[in-house]
Amino acid sequence: MDEFELIRRFFSRDANAGDVVVGVGDDGALLRPTPGTDQVHVIDTLVEGVHFPANISAADIGYRVVAVNLSDIAAMGAMPRWMTLALTLWDKDEQWVEGFADGLYAAAGAHNVALVGGDTTQGDSVVATVHLTGEVEQGEALLRSGAQVGDTVYVTGTVGDAAAGLSLLQSGVTDVGLVQRFLRPEARIEQGRELRGRAHAVIDISDGLVADLGKLAAASGVGAEIDMSKLPLSAALLARYDRGSAEQLALTGGDDYELCFTAPADAVADLDGITAIGVVTEGDRIVCRRNDEIVEVDASGYRHFS
Amino acid sequence: MDEFELIRRFFSRDANAGDVVVGVGDDGALLRPTPGTDQVHVIDTLVEGVHFPANISAADIGYRVVAVNLSDIAAMGAMPRWMTLALTLWDKDEQWVEGFADGLYAAAGAHNVALVGGDTTQGDSVVATVHLTGEVEQGEALLRSGAQVGDTVYVTGTVGDAAAGLSLLQSGVTDVGLVQRFLRPEARIEQGRELRGRAHAVIDISDGLVADLGKLAAASGVGAEIDMSKLPLSAALLARYDRGSAEQLALTGGDDYELCFTAPADAVADLDGITAIGVVTEGDRIVCRRNDEIVEVDASGYRHFS
């Protein structure tokens, strides 16, 4: 199967919809932006053996490479619109590509994102890159840089589940909910939209809560204190790990793709599915507190090339 | 050197300029589209050992991954604006990354393209993907699909040089102009812009003249006939190859990144740097003619996974 046939068969499902003037098949996609919006452009790559274990399914990889990009769009309060795919494969197994496409479209379809173009190449291992374009009303984008001293620090959902899931997956367990949290993260698009005009600063949690809150704080020129007793830990996590281990996963485990944000408490009182976990402080440190005790946490998170 | 340091040092040169509201450093780039324009989105990947010989410089790879995307933007008559980079490396050699960045910025800077975001990952070999966004006045984009029977077929510049250059490069010759044509293709942005309102159909020549004209013809539901005596062959090409070999390179060699287009002859009479090479015909075949003789050409061009 050659490249053109591959693209036509598996990656042409919905390329001509909405504001897609021309989708897959010309030199590029032709798209019509919505007047009055700014655009958010994000790009993320998954590499076999680095970002996912070799034993996860093609469909999970396809889903995941879209989901991690959707999460960045969510963190800026934007609506995802269009994506392009660069897929490097180590061979030409049709079943694999079909599975990958199924996962990719499952993640994209949940948010009406159209795949409008791509490039398929051959290489030594699987490298999947997605570029995603979102739109947000001009002036309403959420940045990392607006946190103010005295803001409350919040997270959506629960944290630590994905890192637990990855650990389980690596030990051969595949059939529990925690593993699904790793394999099929759900980008918080709707919650990101709700935070426009309310949150002062937002980031998505990909490298770990402390690491990502640290980036938000650095961009804002502030510090933050996390009250460890308030961390939202799932029942599934606490069923498998003692409290201390669960807290460690919640603070330093990556891949949750929840949103971490800061806001005045009265600005988000009516929002569901969020938990206040701390406060924005002066300085430049991220401090974790249990009762009156400062707890040291390895805050390095996950960094490539480190 | 970790990922953040790598990005900050080598890929943050001009990310906050023009209509870039927020560049590198947040969850995504925040960009402001020009009112009244459509966007062209393209994405292209270069894989070490597949798209370039292992012995070409990091700077040439960085230049090339931008140039091939610029060429797609040119083929649609758009102005290139913003790009994002996904770079997978096999190790963390700083000199290599700096060289790559130099080449990348050389290609982008020539057309005022801003690098607004990226993702750097570790893998088994070099895989470089660039997504490029262009803008074109609404309704003025050039497509592959508008060729009409009786149109003249044109190409810009000269053809066959890049394929000759690649062949020379693979045999160890590095210091001649033909090799530069392969290593440093110049996207025909200005000529693409001039073709708006004149050309009926446009494609850029990446896989070879016959193969790419074939795609244009298929998209337009027509055939085409090439007069081989009219192929624009450079003096450099003819100095190294006999006429027959030069014609073969011109027809089937890839990587020229010239534009091939069809137009009524009177619509482009005032344009420089183009050569009429044939005519659009009924049917669905690409025919090459020398005097009154039909010449068979292997028209498959370069296809991945074939």
Asked whether the predicted pLDDT for residue B35 surpasses 60, the reply is yes
B2 pLDDT tier (thresholds 50, 70, 90): low
Asked whether the predicted pLDDT for residue B53 surpasses 80, the reply is no
- Scanning every residue of chain B, which has its alpha carbon at the shortest distance from the alpha carbon of A136? B30
pLDDT value of residue B305? 35
pLDDT value of residue B302? 41
B51 pLDDT tier (thresholds 50, 70, 90): confident
Q: Which residues of chain A neighbour B75 with C-beta distances below 8 Å?
A: 27-28
Token pair, residue B209, equals 């003249």
| B116-136 residue pLDDT tens | 998 988 888 889 999 999 999
Asked whether the predicted pLDDT for residue A239 surpasses 80, the reply is yes
| B131-150 residue pLDDT tens | 999 999 999 999 999 999 99
Backbone angles phi, psi at B297, to 5 degrees: -130, 135
Rg (CA), chain A: 20
Q: How far is A40 from chain B (nearest CA, A)?
A: 5
Q: How far is B271 from chain A (nearest CA, A)?
A: 22
For A121, the closest of B3, B50, B138 (CB atoms) is: B50
| Predicted TM-score of the model (pTM) | 0.92
Share of chain A above pLDDT 70, in %: 92
- In three-state secondary structure terms, A140 is coil
| B245-256 residue pLDDT tens | 999 999 999 999
Q: Which residues of chain B neighbour A73 with C-beta distances below 8 Å?
A: 27-28
A305 pLDDT tier (thresholds 50, 70, 90): very low
Selected for mutation to probe chain B from A1, A10, A84, A129 (highest B CB count within 10 Å) is A129
| A51-61 residue pLDDT tens | 777 778 999 99
Asked whether the predicted pLDDT for residue B1 surpasses 60, the reply is no
pLDDT value of residue A247? 94
Contact A121 B45 (CB under 8 A): yes
Q: Which residues of chain A neighbour B22 with C-beta distances below 8 Å?
A: 141, 143
Q: Which of A153-157, A166-170, A300-304 has the lowest mean pLDDT?
A: A300-304
By CB atoms closer than 10 A (0-12, 13-18, 19+), residue A217 is buried
B298 pLDDT tier (thresholds 50, 70, 90): low
Residue A103 half-sphere exposure toward CB, CA atoms < 13 A: 23
- In three-state secondary structure terms, B205 is coil
A2 pLDDT tier (thresholds 50, 70, 90): low
Q: Which residues of chain B neighbour A129 with C-beta distances below 8 Å?
A: 43, 45, 86, 119, 129
pLDDT value of residue B174? 81
Q: Which residues of chain A neighbour B6 with C-beta distances below 8 Å?
A: 305
pLDDT value of residue B79? 97
Q: State how far Cα A227 lies from the chain centre.
A: 24
B306 pLDDT tier (thresholds 50, 70, 90): very low
First to last CA, chain B: 39
Domains annotated on chain A, with CATH? 3-137 (3.30.1330.10), 152-295 (3.90.650.10)
* Sign of the four-CA dihedral A275, A283, A215, B108: positive
Asked whether the predicted pLDDT for residue A19 surpasses 90, the reply is no
Closest to B72 (Cα-Cα) out of B266, B206, B238, B264: B206
Q: What is the mean pLDDT of residues B12-17?
A: 60
Distance CA B90, CA B229 (A): 46
For A125, the closest of B31, B49, B123 (CB atoms) is: B123
A18 pLDDT tier (thresholds 50, 70, 90): low
| A110-136 residue pLDDT tens | 999 999 998 988 888 889 999 999 999
More reliable by pLDDT, B113 or B53 = B113
More reliable by pLDDT, A19 or A62 = A62
Q: What is the mean pLDDT of residues A180-184?
A: 93
Asked whether the predicted pLDDT for residue A301 surpasses 60, the reply is no
Distance CA B186, CA A287 (A): 52
pLDDT value of residue A79? 97
pLDDT value of residue B299? 52
Pairing verdict, β A286-290 and A293-295: antiparallel
Token pair, residue A294, equals 């400062």
pLDDT value of residue A282? 97
- Scanning every residue of chain A, which has its alpha carbon at the shortest distance from the alpha carbon of B117? A42
- Scanning every residue of chain B, which has its alpha carbon at the shortest distance from the alpha carbon of A40? B30
More reliable by pLDDT, A261 or A25 = A261
Pairing verdict, β B223-227 and B286-290: parallel
Alpha helix positions (H), chain B: 3-10, 58-75, 94-109, 161-170, 177-183, 189-194, 209-220, 235-240, 243-252
pLDDT value of residue B250? 96
- ∠ CA A253-A303-A257, rounded to 5°: 45
